[in-house]
């Protein structure tokens, strides 16, 4: 499977391009590769889809920010961009109208009806992960309560044995025109509410809506290294579209619990190594249990001081784009006992006397 091309390269713009420059570049690509202008040309169709995918990301400030930071992986979450699951034409209706005059038609083409199947709305929910789940990645079934397609009428809104009929008021366009002097105004058809079709006998299960509200489970893949405040997109798991149109997307806002031993800063991990005075003075090897149940050995040199930091590259959090891992920072903490035995007290007094003598000799030689 081939790698996706860089979105800026697809549109032929720089990474600092403005919104207007991106829009202009997409217009040029759409005019050149639109299927209506290249009938039967599969290569042109693929280039059109590629340009549309690039524009859908770079024209959205939130998506563009995640793409600039994490690349294509930053847009994934149970799927990533899925052209087959997005109603591209309704998504870019205003832009295509601007490009082709009559939306979807091109020069001499016929005007596409505004009624008919429409893409469903997007859903947004929050999900709390444990610290380890966020660092290591996981899959979770998330409960979503939202409208789903009615099984009785298969989303049509019509009772079994009946079907939707073209709206006689708007002739299936979903809009009606009204003349006010020399100016024509269009508005949503009041008879079909813009759908272009009506139901003579509504489905009893959904009362003609084509949808019923239910709870369902959605399996979401959280990539290793995801952090609190980030958002995942799951294509096609939003609200079903009207009249059998494609469903919207599900957006999952991530929140992450704190951890008792680790702290995180981006892709870096920080933890503490607790040692006694003797180990700090003489040097030792400390074993750090990691989140994946592995153990990292850290060498503390003789004379380690409280607050010293030992950094191990490549032992931190994985980058969401898969390009390596951050750094593990181990902070030395020397534990001082609150109570000591009589023997320990005697030994400490001897040590204190020895250290004091050493300091005195050093001062005398200075």
Residue 210 located in a structural domain: no
Q: Is the pLDDT of residue 1 over 80?
A: no
* Cα–Cα distance list, 155 to 41, 151, 166, 280, 333 (Å): 34, 7, 16, 70, 63
Output the pLDDT for position 354: 85
Residues 214-240 as b/e (b if ≥16 CB within 10 A, e otherwise) read: eeeebebebbbbbbeebbbbbbbbbbb
Residue 21: inside a domain, yes or no? Answer: yes
83: phi then psi, degrees, rounded to nearest 5: -55, -35
Query: What local confidence, expressed as pLDDT, does residue 180 receive?
Result: 60
- Using the predicted structure, report yes or no on whether residue 334 has a pLDDT greater than 90: yes
Distance CA(331)–CA(273), nearest Å, equals 6
> Could you tell me if 325 and 315 are in contact, meaning their C-beta atoms sit under 8 angstroms apart?
yes
Last-in-domain residue among 82, 112, 142: 112
Task: Please provide the average confidence, as pLDDT, over all residues in the chain.
Answer: 82
- 357 sits in which H/E element: helix 342-365
| Tokens encoding 347 | 């030994």
| Phi, psi (degrees; rounded to nearest 5) at 288 | -105, 110
CA gap 80, 221 in Å, rounded: 11
User: Could you give the count of Cα atoms lying within 13 Å of 34 in the half-sphere of its Cβ?
Assistant: 18
Query: For the ranges 238-247, 309-318, 354-363, which has the lowest average pLDDT?
Result: 354-363
Q: In the chain, what's the furthest Cα-to-Cα distance?
A: 108
Whether residue 151 lies inside any domain: the answer is no
Give buried/exposed letters for 327-348 (b at 16+ CB in 10 A, else e).
bbbbebebeeeeeeeeeeeeee
User: C-alpha distances in angstroms, 292 versus 264, 289, 316, 318?
Assistant: 15, 8, 12, 12
Q: How confident is the model at residue 116 (pLDDT cuts 50, 70, 90)?
A: low
Share of the chain above pLDDT 70, in %: 83
- Residue 293 CA, chain-centre distance (Å), reads 27
pLDDT for the residue 193? 78
In a domain, 340, yes or no: no
What sign does the dihedral 30-33-35-37 (CA atoms) show? positive
Q: What angle do CA 12, 14, 18 make, to 5 degrees?
A: 105
Q: What is the pLDDT of residue 184?
A: 56
| Domain of 283, in residue numbers | 263-335
User: pLDDT digits over 70-112, tens only?
Assistant: 888 777 754 444 444 333 443 444 454 444 444 334 333 333 4
Where is the domain boundary, 81, 97, 112?
Answer: 112
Residue 349 pLDDT > 70, yes or no? Answer: yes
Assess if residue 289 is contained within a domain: yes
Sequence-separated contacts (24+) of 109-115 with Cβ below 8 Å: 109/36, 113/172, 113/173, 113/174, 113/196, 114/173, 114/174, 114/175, 114/194, 114/196, 115/167, 115/170, 115/172, 115/173, 115/174, 115/175, 115/189, 115/192, 115/194, 115/195, 115/196, 115/197
- Residue 126's DSSP bridge partners are 253
In whole angstroms, what is the distance from residue 193 CA to residue 175 CA? 8
Q: Concatenated DSSP letters for 243-291?
A: TTPPP--EEEEEEE---SS-EEETTEEEEEEEE-HHHHHH-EEEEEE-T
Q: What's the total number of domains in the chain?
A: 2
Higher pLDDT, 234 or 37: 234
Check residues 48 and 304 and name the one with the higher pLDDT.
304
pLDDT tens digits, residue range 269-301?
999 999 999 999 999 999 999 999 999 999 999
Encode pLDDT of 130-153 as tens digits: 999 999 999 999 998 888 778 888
Determine the pLDDT at residue 343: 94
Range from 58-67, 175-184, 220-229, 344-353 carrying the lowest mean pLDDT: 175-184
**Domain-embedded: residue 214:** no
Pick the more confident residue, 131 or 163: 131
Q: Does any domain span residue 362?
A: no
pLDDT band at 364 (very low <50, low <70, confident <90, very high): low
What does the alpha-carbon distance between residue 161 and residue 122 come to, in Å, rounded to a whole number?
31
∠ CA(276), CA(281), CA(284), 5° rounding?
Answer: 70
The CATH code of the domain that includes 301 is: 2.60.260.20
CB within 8 A of 333, min separation 6: which ones? 272, 273, 274, 275, 306, 307
Could you tell me the CATH number of the domain that includes residue 37? 1.10.287.110
pTM over 0.85: no
Q: What is the number of other CB atoms lying within 10 angstroms of the CB of residue 249?
A: 24
pLDDT of residue 270: 97
User: Which residue, of 112, 147, 175, is where some domain finishes?
Assistant: 112
Does residue 191 form part of some domain? no
């Amino acid at each position: 499977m081939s790698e996706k091309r860089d979105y800026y390269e697809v549109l032929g713009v720089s990474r600092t391009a403005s919104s207007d420059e991106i829009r202009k570049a997409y217009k040029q690509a759409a005019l050149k590769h639109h299927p209506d202008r290249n009938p039967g040309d599969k290569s042109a169709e693929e280039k059109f889809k590629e340009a549309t995918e690039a524009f859908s990301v770079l024209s959205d400030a939130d998506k563009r920010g995640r793409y600039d930071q994490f690349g294509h992986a930053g847009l994934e979450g149970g799927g990533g961009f899925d052209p087959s699951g997005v109603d591209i034409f309704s998504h870019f209706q205003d832009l295509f109208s601007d490009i082709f005059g009559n939306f979807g038609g091109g020069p001499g083409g016929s005007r596409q009806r505004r009624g008919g199947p429409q893409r469903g709305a997007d859903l947004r929910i929050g999900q709390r992960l444990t610290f380890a789940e966020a660092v290591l990645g996981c899959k979770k079934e998330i409960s979503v309560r939202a409208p789903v397609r009615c099984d009785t009428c298969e989303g049509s809104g019509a009772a079994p044995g009946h079907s939707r009929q073209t709206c006689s008021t708007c002739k299936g366009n979903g809009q009606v025109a009204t003349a006010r002097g020399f100016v024509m105004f269009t508005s949503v058809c009041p008879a079909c509410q813009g759908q272009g079709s009506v139901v003579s006998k509504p489905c009893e299960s959904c009362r003609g809506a084509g949808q019923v509200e239910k709870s369902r489970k959605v399996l979401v893949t959280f990539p290793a290294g995801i952090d609190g405040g980030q958002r995942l997109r799951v294509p096609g798991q939003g609200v079903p579209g009207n009249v059998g149109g494609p469903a919207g997307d599900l957006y999952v806002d991530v929140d992450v619990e704190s951890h008792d031993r680790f702290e995180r800063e981006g892709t870096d991990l920080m933890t503490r190594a607790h040692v006694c005075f003797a180990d700090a003075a003489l040097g030792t090897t400390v074993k750090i249990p990691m989140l994946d149940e592995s153990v990292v050995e850290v060498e503390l040199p003789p004379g380690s001081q409280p607050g010293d930091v030992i950094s191990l590259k490549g032992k931190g959090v994985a980058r969401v784009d898969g390009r390596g891992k951050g750094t593990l920072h181990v902070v030395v903490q020397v534990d001082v006992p609150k109570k000591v035995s009589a023997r320990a007290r005697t030994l400490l007094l001897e040590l204190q006397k020895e250290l004091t003598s050493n300091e005195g000799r050093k001062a005398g030689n200075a």
